[in-house]
Amino acid sequence: MFTSGRLRAVAGLAVAALVAVVAVSSGSSATNQSPTIRIWVDNVQKPAIEQITSAWASSKNATVDVVVKDFGKIRDDLKTVQVENAPDVIVGPHDWVGELAANGLVLPLFPRAAVRALFPTYALDAFSYGTAVKRLYGTPFALENIGLVVNTKLARVPTSFADFERQALAFKKKAKGNIALAVPQGAGGDAYHMYPFFSGLGGYVFGRNKAGNYDVSDIGLANPVFLKNAPMIDQWNKAGLINSKIDYGTGKDAFLKGKAAFWLTGPWETKTLKESGLKFTIVQMPKIKFNAVPFLGVQGYMVTKYATDHGVESLAKDLVGSYIPSTDVQRTLAGANGRYPANVQAGKQVRDPVLLQFGKAGVGGVPMPNIPQMASVWSELGGAWVKATRGSGAIPARVAFRTAARNIANKIG
């Protein structure tokens, strides 16, 4: 039996030993010779980025550290991350760009004209942001937009909006439980999926100033042209063409069960559509008063300000600005997400019929505005649609959209 004094000495020694072990092990994280570039991606992009960076990294004598994050966390964590854990390159959609740039977290890129020419103008525009001088903040690699999916067993591809309206309403009347158009809204609204109707009636979110930047004082939710056309929304509501009580789940369910002949959705449902066994064609919503174009979403890679802190700025810019734009890389990256590649040459190589149809459905589309003020827009624009299309309790569309426009102006302040 130890005496208690000796016990305590042993105790002290044991504690000191463990402390020493930890101290040594924490100090011995060897400094790497070759520079490391850390990339934050979601699990969908991980295999693709690992594949394309392996050849690149060995030619640059660099190491690539791919860190998988939940998609939304990439943006959120970038705001709070410690410098030593921060990424040098991130993947993200173009509508993050305004917020990230306003926060000073991403670096502007200035690619050569030859590189710019690889992309459609709107894809680069989607990744550009600036209150006075516009700068490019990322290299796009994938495009997405919604389209009108037509179940060709239940309806013909509409030749005009009137034709669409007629077919949809006739289908609705055919059986109880049928819905005219599966476009998701629900109590919270969905401005993104409703955008073809909004643009088709002459609506826009923000106007542009002379320099081509978004002008947040010009809110297009209550522009005279749109307001003039807005009573059409009341008619659609009365006839039951659009019903805000349909949310994503109910709409998708109805289409897959043959209780809706039309579905407004995007390429993220490609797999579901192919596996459903339904016969379908995807087109752009027919022209209403104007072309009923969807919002365009662009995904891309960005260089963060931490690349400078880590001393790998040129390396990161080489990856994002020179290597990722190339055709083969674009095909791999976009393919991983099942999206249309942003690179025009890679786009021409797409053979998947569903993807091609979605691509055509996006022609003339408008990139979602990427300015941080969009935070004030989504719920209001979606809410206006909900209020105007909730069946018998609906309020006139003019009132709903005027209110929404006023609210947005107030929220932006």
Partner 1 sequence: MAPGAPATPLPLGLLPRLLAAFSGTTGLVIKLVFLSLANAMAVWAATVLVRDSRWIALSVLVAATLAIDSVYLSRRAVPLKFLVPGSVFLIAFSVVPVAYNVNVAFTNWSTGHLLAKEEAIEGIERSYLAPPADGRSYLMAPARDGRGQLVLILVDEADGSTFVGSRVGLEPLRRDAVEIDENGAIVGTEGYQLLEADELASLDTDLSAYTVPTKDGAAIRPEGFETAVELRPTLRYEADTDTFVRIEDGTVFRDNGKGSFVAASGEELEPGWKTRVGVENFTRLLKDPLVRKPFFRVFVWTFVFAGATVVASFALGLFLAIALNLPGLRFQRTYRSLLIVPYAVPAFLSLLVWRGLLNDEFGLVNRLLPFDVPWLFDPAWARVSVILVSLWLTFPYFFLVSLGALQSIPSELVEAARVDGAGPWQVFRRITFPLLLVAVAPLLIASFAFNFNNFNNIYLLTAGGPQASDQIVAGSTDILISYTWKLAFEAGKGQDYGLASAVSIVIFLIIASISALSFWRSRSLEEMR
The letter for the amino acid at 56 is W
Given a contact cutoff of 8 angstroms between Cβ atoms, the answer to whether 278 and 151 are in contact is yes
Q: How far is the CB of 79 from partner 1 (least distance, A)?
A: 6
Q: How far is the CB of 6 from partner 1 (least distance, A)?
A: 12
- Is the Cβ of residue 131 or residue 291 nearer to partner 1 in the bound state? 131
Q: How far is the CB of 397 from partner 1 (least distance, A)?
A: 13
The footprint of partner 1 on residues 339-378 (CB under 8 A) is 372-373, 375-376, 378
Instruction: Please return the burial class of 288, using the count of CB atoms within 10 Å of its CB with bins 0-12, 13-18 and 19+.
Output: buried
- Is the Cβ of residue 286 or residue 383 nearer to partner 1 in the bound state? 383
Number of residues that bind partner 1 (CB under 8 A): 82
- Is the Cβ of residue 317 or residue 339 nearer to partner 1 in the bound state? 317
Q: Strands 280-283, 147-151: parallel, antiparallel or unpaired by DSSP?
A: antiparallel
- Is the Cβ of residue 111 or residue 147 nearer to partner 1 in the bound state? 111
- Is the Cβ of residue 160 or residue 217 nearer to partner 1 in the bound state? 217
Q: How far is the CB of 315 from partner 1 (least distance, A)?
A: 6
Which range, of 132-140, 162-170, 218-226, 356-364, touches partner 1 by CB under 8 A?
132-140
211 binds partner 1 (CB under 8 A): no
The contact mask relative to partner 1 for 22-41 (x = CB under 8 A, - = no) is: xx--xx------xx------
Q: How far is the CB of 156 from partner 1 (least distance, A)?
A: 27
The letter for the amino acid at 92 is G
The footprint of partner 1 on residues 57-86 (CB under 8 A) is 59-62, 79
The footprint of partner 1 on residues 176-205 (CB under 8 A) is 186-188
Given a contact cutoff of 8 angstroms between Cβ atoms, the answer to whether 124 and 140 are in contact is yes
81 Cβ partners below 8 Å, 6+ apart?
87, 306
Q: What secondary structure, in 3-state letters, does 357-375 show?
A: HHHHHCCCCEECCCCHHHH
Place of tokens 């009636």: 201
Instruction: Please return the burial class of 169, using the count of CB atoms within 10 Å of its CB with bins 0-12, 13-18 and 19+.
Output: middle
The contact mask relative to partner 1 for 282-321 (x = CB under 8 A, - = no) is: -----------------------x--x--xxxxx-xxx-x
What SS3 state is found at 8? helix
Can you tell me the distance from the alpha carbon of 66 to that of 38, in angstroms, rounded to the nearest whole number?
6
Can you tell me the distance from the alpha carbon of 65 to that of 106, in angstroms, rounded to the nearest whole number?
19
The footprint of partner 1 on residues 221-250 (CB under 8 A) is 243-247, 249-250
Tokens, residue 306: 């931490």
The letter for the amino acid at 186 is G
- Is the Cβ of residue 109 or residue 296 nearer to partner 1 in the bound state? 109
Q: How far is the CB of 51 from partner 1 (least distance, A)?
A: 20
